[in-house]
Amino acid sequence: MAAKSRLPLQFWIVTLVAFINSVSFTIIIPTLYPYAKEFGLSDLAASLLTTAFSLSQFLGTPILGRLSDRIGRKPLLVISLLGTVVANLLAAVSPFAWWLYLARMLDGLTGGNNSVAQAVVSDITTPEQRTQAFGIFGGMFRLGFVVGPPLAYFAQTLPPLPGITPLGMSFMVSAIMALVAAILCFVVLPETHPTAKYDGAGAGVSARTLNLSLADFGFGRLATSFRKPLVGRIFIMTFLNGATFTIFAFAFQPYFLTVLGQDTKLLAFAFVFFGILAFLSQVFLLEPLRKRMNLVTLLVVALISRGILLILYPSFPTIQAFWILLFFFGIVNAFPMPLIDSLLSLRTPSDEQGEALGTNSSYLSIANAVGPAISGVLVTFGYGIPFFVAGGLTLAIAFFALSLNTPGKEATAI
């Protein structure tokens, strides 16, 4: 029984690749805004760098997922990681602002490799292992959010290379880490998608013909996927969950600095604290709780808890209350996405895993683009307004999540 529950070696390899990739991405987070200011960009123009990345990722992710179903997971992982390498090198040496936009768009188009890595997890795990696997996978990805910001600071202390500013060195370090992940994936990770393995005649992935059509870009599928009875509701859940969180994520910073009167160093510590809590929660709490209740019930409880905590933030505007609320928020906020990913994986045919997870990631990318914009508008009415709105919407989403727990054959997969 223990052997059946033990996660395979391939899982730990792809999780390590995802962690390195996550670190290479999160190094950029504390760097992008001040780097944009070096080019003389306004605050609005600097914010559009994030929008450009998210929208490009929205377009690119389902293509990567579809292609991974067609030609295999491994080549798509390697190609997308190399895309990140090129994008960050381009950003590091950018002489003009438009180069920086181009770099962020390229990184977005090729940066949907997380969905391909999730498809690998689905390929190599059983339904009983899947929630635990996605929990650990998500926890390692979140751990990258803890490691990335300190590495960004370290990168800026390095002697800058010719033509590269100290802030640009963060992009160089990010490129190096993505290159390490690509090499690790190419050398160590085996192909996990059954249709991509070698056939009896000795022909493998390299012998497959890659014929792209407009359908591979998935515009029609993205527009109509929500109409599918159950999987469509899961896509909607991903978007709503992501949008409400990113409303909080944007409002969190001006609230912390302006209302609570704290400095940027303590803000960075708050990000690290939040990331550590999310990592520990996903790795050590998710699986025991899953064994006590089904996936939908646990998702509903997590969303209700998160909604209440969001409303409490502006209700008690003190630094002491903030740390207490952040502690509990970091724990419960770690649950929704791996639970949603598990539900989607369990209710999708094996030969459509890459496409479904890619589409799901695209909805999350759109949420990442929309949420901060909504929050930016709400902040103009008061720093606490985004918290109340995000909290209220999260409570509403929790009730919507109950519709995922349908009777009959689909419910038995929970």
Predicted local confidence at residue 23, as pLDDT: 83
Give the pLDDT band (50/70/90) at residue 2: very low
Tell me the three state secondary structure of residue 54.
Answer: helix
Taking the C-alpha atoms of residue 368 and residue 362, their distance in angstroms, rounded to an integer, is: 10
Give φ, ψ of 381 to 5 degrees: -95, -5
Torsion of CA 266, 271, 273, 278, to 10 degrees: 170
What average pLDDT does the segment 302-309 reach? 96
| Per-domain boundaries in the chain | 8-193+215-413
Whether 239 and 363 have beta carbons less than 8 Å apart is answered as yes
What average pLDDT does the segment 60-71 reach? 76
| Closest to 154 (Cα-Cα) out of 173, 136, 139 | 173
Predicted local confidence at residue 301, as pLDDT: 94
Predicted local confidence at residue 204, as pLDDT: 44
- Which one has a higher pLDDT value, 239 or 22? 239
Find the helix or strand (DSSP H, E) in which 175 lies: helix 168-188
Whether 389 and 382 have beta carbons less than 8 Å apart is answered as no
pLDDT (tens digit, 9 = 90+) per residue, 227-241?
666 788 888 899 999
Give the pLDDT band (50/70/90) at residue 271: confident
**Lowest model confidence (mean pLDDT) among 66-75, 138-147, 221-230, 334-343:** 221-230
Predicted local confidence at residue 195, as pLDDT: 59
CA distances from 148 to 51, 145, 171 (A): 20, 5, 12
Whether 102 and 90 have beta carbons less than 8 Å apart is answered as yes
Give the pLDDT band (50/70/90) at residue 395: very high
Q: CA angle 77-122-353, nearest 5°?
A: 75
Whether 189 and 77 have beta carbons less than 8 Å apart is answered as yes
- Which one has a higher pLDDT value, 115 or 180? 180
**Global pTM exceeds 0.85:** no
Taking the C-alpha atoms of residue 59 and residue 42, their distance in angstroms, rounded to an integer, is: 26
Express as a percent the part of the chain with pLDDT over 70.
84
What architecture is domain 8-193+215-413? Answer: Up-down Bundle (1.20)
- Could you tell me the two tokens for 23? 């670190």
pLDDT (tens digit, 9 = 90+) per residue, 169-186?
889 988 998 898 889 888
Predicted local confidence at residue 15, as pLDDT: 85
**Lowest model confidence (mean pLDDT) among 2-11, 77-86, 211-220:** 211-220
Whether 73 and 191 have beta carbons less than 8 Å apart is answered as yes
Q: CA angle 106-111-112, nearest 5°?
A: 130
Taking the C-alpha atoms of residue 403 and residue 396, their distance in angstroms, rounded to an integer, is: 12
Burial 251-276 (b: 16+ CB within 10 A, else e): bbeebbeebbebeeeeeeebbebbbe
| Closest to 321 (Cα-Cα) out of 255, 395, 246, 398 | 255
Q: Is the pLDDT of residue 91 over 70?
A: yes
The residue type found at 378 is L
Taking the C-alpha atoms of residue 166 and residue 155, their distance in angstroms, rounded to an integer, is: 7
Whether 366 and 239 have beta carbons less than 8 Å apart is answered as yes
